[in-house]
Amino acid sequence: MNEFLDIFLAWLLVEKGLSRNTLDAYSRDICAYLGFLEKSGITELSRIKPTDVAGFIADLRAAGLSPRSRARALSAIRMFHRFLLIEHHCDANPTSVIESPRLPGKLPATLSKDEVEALLASPVGIDPINVRDRAMLQLLYATGLRVSELVALKISDINLSAGYLLTSGKGDKERLVPIGEAAKVALEEYLQLPAAAPDSERKGRPYLFLSRLGERMTRQAFWNIIKKRALQAGIRSGISPHTLRHSFATHLLENGADLRSVQMMLGHADLATTQIYTHISGDRLKKLHKEIHPRG
């Protein structure tokens, strides 16, 4: 049945326009699912029953996967079987009667404004690595980019004179995002470095942010950078590149930005996805009210 996985991934790429990271996630989940079926002695699509799908999800639960991870896996399996049905590779969808695991109402983690300031100030000095890290952190907080969007930026995507950048998000949808003055200054400083300047020194590498070795910055490398800088800033809570994205959206709404504008800057297809940040802002307002109001 593994032959159908390759066809399915090609279909997702062409028909859905999914990113490479999303395709990799689908591939891992479906591979695990097909491996489970093979161990269960099921080698034909027509033999897959709802109990087999439920058995795989139960197996994930026994392995300690969170409800969110199990829900993601089930979503991939649903899409896989829907594809098989659409393309007439099978006559039934065994996932149609399977309920998704209940997810806790978890709000994204954010940093306070003081914590953000401390994080942005952590790369000190004119050492090239500090200059680069300062530019990356400033730009991430100023724009709310996903880490995959940040590391994929090319020099040609930045227009410092206009104060905007062009990024390509999920589904290869392009959007313009304001850079802001602080990030603009940090980028100008970074682009003055010999190794970062858009000239022959780059040896044809178009990407904006490069590693110590002059290669394109990876998501994993930047993950390590932000964790290192958070420790330097005295931030002990768990932090990831996405934490700055969440903080960007929350702080904008707290300062009066309208929801639709934040949605456009984040690149959310659905306004409901952006609305979660209104809950965070509301929780902070209630906490503030309780702390300072005479009858709070």
Both 135 and 248 in one domain: the answer is: yes
DSSP secondary structure string, 135-201? HHHHHHHHH---HHHHHH-BGGGEETTTTEEEEE-GGG-EEEEE--HHHHHHHHHHHTSTTTSSSGG
In a domain, 108, yes or no: no
Of 70, 72, 132, 268, the catalytic one is 268
Say whether 164 is catalytic: no
Residue 40 belongs to what domain range? 2-86
Both 132 and 179 in one domain: the answer is: yes
DSSP secondary structure string, 207-240? BSSB-TTSSBPPHHHHHHHHHHHHHHTT--S---
Decide which of 86, 103, 127 is a domain's last residue: 86
Determine contact, residues 139/187, Cβ cutoff 8 Å: yes
In a domain, 159, yes or no: yes
Q: How far apart are CA 47 and CA 55, in angstroms?
A: 14
Provide the number of structural domains found in the chain.
2
Give the pLDDT of residue 278.
67
What CATH number did the domain enclosing 185 receive? 1.10.443.10
Of 72, 134, 146, 251, the catalytic one is 146
Q: How far apart are CA 122 and CA 128, in angstroms?
A: 14
pTM of the model as a whole: 0.61
Which residues are CB-contacts of 220 (< 8 A; sequence separation ≥ 6)? none
Is the predicted pLDDT of residue 282 greater than 50, yes or no?
yes
- Helix/strand/coil for 93: coil
In a domain, 92, yes or no: no
Of 184, 245, 246, 251, the catalytic one is 245
Both 126 and 269 in one domain: the answer is: yes
Which pLDDT band holds residue 200 (cuts at 50, 70, 90)?
very low
Both 134 and 249 in one domain: the answer is: yes
In a domain, 198, yes or no: yes
Give every strand in the sheet of 164-168, ordered side by side. Answer: 158-159, 164-168, 174-178
Of 154, 170, 205, 219, the catalytic one is 170
Sign for the CA dihedral angle at 17, 102, 98, 51 comes to positive
Both 282 and 182 in one domain: the answer is: yes
Burial class (CB in 10 A: 0-12, 13-18, 19+), 178: middle
Of 16, 205, 242, 284, the catalytic one is 242
Both 178 and 287 in one domain: the answer is: yes
Both 220 and 121 in one domain: the answer is: yes
Both 228 and 280 in one domain: the answer is: yes
Give the pLDDT of residue 250.
87
Both 263 and 190 in one domain: the answer is: yes
Say whether 289 is catalytic: no
Both 153 and 278 in one domain: the answer is: yes
Say whether 170 is catalytic: yes
Both 117 and 231 in one domain: the answer is: yes
Q: How far apart are CA 121 and CA 115, in angstroms?
A: 10
Both 121 and 36 in one domain: the answer is: no
Q: Which residue has the higher pLDDT, 16 or 138?
A: 138
What CATH number did the domain enclosing 13 receive? 1.10.150.130
pLDDT tens track for 221-260? 999 999 999 999 999 877 888 888 889 988 888 888 888 8
Say whether 212 is catalytic: no
